[in-house]
Amino acid sequence: MTPQINPNTMTDEAKTAEESQRVGPPYQTAKGVHDILPDDHEFFTYIKKVVRHRARQHGFRRITTPTFEFTDVFNRSIGDTTDIVSKEMYTFQDRKGRSLTLKPEGTAGVVRSYLQHNMQTLPQPVELYYIEPHFRYDRPQKGRYRQFWQFGLEVIGESDSAIDAQLIHLFYTVLQDLGVADQFKLQINSIGCSAKNCRPKFVVDLQNFYMGKERNLCEECSYRLPKNPLRLLDCKKEDCTILAKLAPQMRNYLCPECKEFHGELLLLLKGLGIDYVENDKLVRGLDYYTKTVFEFWDKSQGAQNAIGGGGRYDGLIEIMGGLPTPAVGFAAGIERIIENMKACGVKVPTKDDIHVFVAQLGFNAKQKALLLMRELREVGLKTVGALGKGAIKNQLRVADRFKVPYCVIMGITEVRDGTAIIRDMKRGSQKIVKYETVVEEVMKLIGAENLDTYTPGEVLY
Ligand SMILES: [Zn+2]
Ligand SMILES: [Zn+2]
């Protein structure tokens, strides 16, 4: 077991050791967090766009809950026996001594909001989606950060296997849109409900099964056994997996309702053409799941590289103080999706490409250039100009860096003659046009279909 360090109780020596490993400039990102640089933003923008598009298509509306909540929101919903609550939360006190926590996942906040804003009075189900950063004090590794972005969808207020099927299909569609669906396989399981002979009986039998075998369990599992025995099933330590294979299986405990629900779900998934693996060791790390649990696993690396997952949480809203209300949802990690898109060589369409570069010499030319650039941008041409004092030659070097197809050049002669030079950067050819026709000429060269225009009032996202 790796020692889990709480940042609040980290010793000074540990801090110094961590700091001394750093090289380079004195100020760097904290451990486990990262900058999203422009190249990665192309991926982020594209993923967000796909998620918004697909979510809207299904009638979901966007919600953003605060970055921090009262700690109790997470303690209560996620459960204090989970890894998240027991060792991964960023918890702090505000100036009045209230305990607050950076959100480690999205569902708790959404459910808190659903109840706080009386969304149970709306026509059900309420379908919400979010795209936000989350925070967990986890061991950083490739594609895994302490501040990480997730998108998630929640359907609250109705229970039907078809809702679960549609949600899983939506997740799958997003992965298809992003070009990584083939990398992943759906793992699915039912962990039953709270009916006496369903999960509660399974949990008791599971505890009985492990009784007397504690010495064969890893340290973490022997700690989990009394409180959260389900988690023993998905432990990755070798000894634990051997025992888990012999352990009782949830499928033999499902009550008739859960059994029917799960059977229907599998049929519906088949009908939707989604391949799945029935995985009776899949329990998910969170306490609040009931019935359906699922994850999309990397076909070659298995659970180590799950891209996201979710499940049904019919008991959660009641736990959070509402009336019993069924719900289902999932979340996926954006950084991990990007890792996979890069590995698959997926090229994302970008709108960052610049159409035209304006170079100028002399103050009068600069004044005209500013006006011209404004006009070019107004018609939807993405325009960059060198506004410093550099020579034309140096300015054109900047144009090369932007890989622009065309340059407009205005020197002292052109200003005097009321003209401008349009240079085709690929061919190296150029022509002189009247200043008044520059916008029109460049528009023709770029093509009306490539203009980046925006009408006020238009929905941009
Ligand atoms: Zn049941
Ligand atoms: Zn274990």
Span 306-352, pLDDT tens digits: 899 999 999 999 999 999 999 999 999 999 999 999 999 999 988 77
User: What are 386's two structure tokens?
Assistant: 């060198």
Residue 68 Cα to ligand 1 middle (Å): 34
Residue 283 Cα to ligand 2 middle (Å): 14
Q: How confident is the model at residue 3 (pLDDT cuts 50, 70, 90)?
A: very low
Q: How confident is the model at residue 13 (pLDDT cuts 50, 70, 90)?
A: low
The predicted structure's pLDDT at residue 4: 45
CATH of the structural domain 29-198+254-343, one choice from 3.30.930.10, 3.30.420.480, 3.80.10.10, 3.30.9.10: 3.30.930.10
- CATH superfamily of this structure's domain 356-448: Anticodon-binding domain (3.40.50.800)
Pick the ligand that lies closest to the CA of residue 241: 2
- Reply yes or no on whether the pLDDT at 19 is more than 80: no
Pick the ligand that lies closest to the CA of residue 254: 1
pTM of the model: 0.86
The predicted structure's pLDDT at residue 18: 56
Residue 255 Cα to ligand 1 middle (Å): 4
The predicted structure's pLDDT at residue 250: 93
- Reply yes or no on whether the pLDDT at 14 is more than 60: no
Q: How confident is the model at residue 7 (pLDDT cuts 50, 70, 90)?
A: very low
Residue 192 Cα to ligand 2 middle (Å): 22
Residue 30 neighbours by CB under 8 Å, 6+ apart: 146
- Over the chain, what is the mean pLDDT? 90
The predicted structure's pLDDT at residue 327: 97
Residue 1 Cα to ligand 2 middle (Å): 9
Residue 220 Cα to ligand 2 middle (Å): 6
Q: In Å, how far from its chain's centre is CA 340?
A: 13
- Reply yes or no on whether the pLDDT at 1 is more than 50: no
For the chain, where do the domains classified as CATH 3.40.50.800 start and end?
356-448
Instruction: Note whether 322 and 77 are within 8 A (CB).
Output: no
Residue 132 Cα to ligand 2 middle (Å): 31
Report the candidate in 152, 170, 185, 143 with the shortest Cα–Cα distance to residue 64.
152
Q: What are the backbone angles phi and psi of residue 41, rounded to the nearest 5°?
A: -65, -30
The predicted structure's pLDDT at residue 286: 73
Sequence letter at residue 276 = Y
Residue 224 Cα to ligand 2 middle (Å): 9
Sequence letter at residue 112 = R
Question: What is the β-pairing status of strands 356-360 and 406-410?
Answer: parallel
Residue 256 Cα to ligand 1 middle (Å): 7
The predicted structure's pLDDT at residue 228: 84
- Reply yes or no on whether the pLDDT at 138 is more than 80: yes
The predicted structure's pLDDT at residue 322: 96
- Reply yes or no on whether the pLDDT at 454 is more than 80: no
Residue 209 Cα to ligand 1 middle (Å): 21
Q: Dihedral of CA 93/99/105/110: which sign? A: negative
Instruction: Note whether 401 and 416 are within 8 A (CB).
Output: no
For the chain, where do the domains classified as CATH 3.30.930.10 start and end?
29-198+254-343
Pick the ligand that lies closest to the CA of residue 260: 1
With helix as H, strand as E and coil as C, how does the chain read?
A: CCCCCCCCCCCHHHHHHHHHCCCCCCCCCCCCCCCCCHHHHHHHHHHHHHHHHHHHHCCCEECCCCCEEEHHHHHHHHCCCCHHHHHHCCEEECCCCCEEEECCCCHHHHHHHHHHCCHHHCCCCEEEEEEEEEECCCCCECCECCEEEEEEEEEECCCCHHHHHHHHHHHHHHHHHCCCHHHEEEEEEECCCCCCCCHHHHHHHHHHHHCCCHHHCCHHHHHHCCCCHHHHHHCCCHHHHHHHHHCCCHHHCCCHHHHHHHHHHHHHHHHCCCCEEECCCCCCCCCCCEEEEEEEEECCCEHHHCCEEEEECCCHHHHCCCCCCCEEEEEEEHHHHHHHHHHCCCCCCCCCCCCEEEEECCHHHHHHHHHHHHHHHHCCCCEEECCCCCCHHHHHHHHHHCCCCEEEEECHHHHHHCEEEEEECCCCEEEEEEHHHHHHHHHHHHCHHHCCCCCCCCCCC
Sequence letter at residue 340 = N
Question: What are the pLDDT digits (tens) for 238-273?
Answer: 999 999 999 999 999 999 999 999 999 999 999 999
Instruction: Note whether 392 and 361 are within 8 A (CB).
Output: yes
Pick the ligand that lies closest to the CA of residue 221: 2
Strand partners, 298: 184, 302
Pick the ligand that lies closest to the CA of residue 191: 1
Q: How confident is the model at residue 305 (pLDDT cuts 50, 70, 90)?
A: confident
Please state, in angstroms and as integers, the Cα–Cα distance from residue 12 to each residue in 8, 16, 19, 316, following that order.
11, 6, 10, 40
Q: Of 82 and 420, which is predicted with more confidence?
A: 420
Residue 330 Cα to ligand 1 middle (Å): 21
What integer is the mean pLDDT of 50-69? 97
What integer is the mean pLDDT of 376-383? 94
Residue 408 neighbours by CB under 8 Å, 6+ apart: 356, 357, 358, 359, 369, 372, 420, 421, 422, 423, 438, 442
Pick the ligand that lies closest to the CA of residue 213: 2
- Reply yes or no on whether the pLDDT at 11 is more than 80: no
Q: How confident is the model at residue 5 (pLDDT cuts 50, 70, 90)?
A: very low
Range in 99-108, 275-284, 451-460 with the lowest mean pLDDT: 451-460
The predicted structure's pLDDT at residue 302: 66
Pick the ligand that lies closest to the CA of residue 199: 1
Pick the ligand that lies closest to the CA of residue 251: 1
Pick the ligand that lies closest to the CA of residue 235: 2
The predicted structure's pLDDT at residue 459: 63
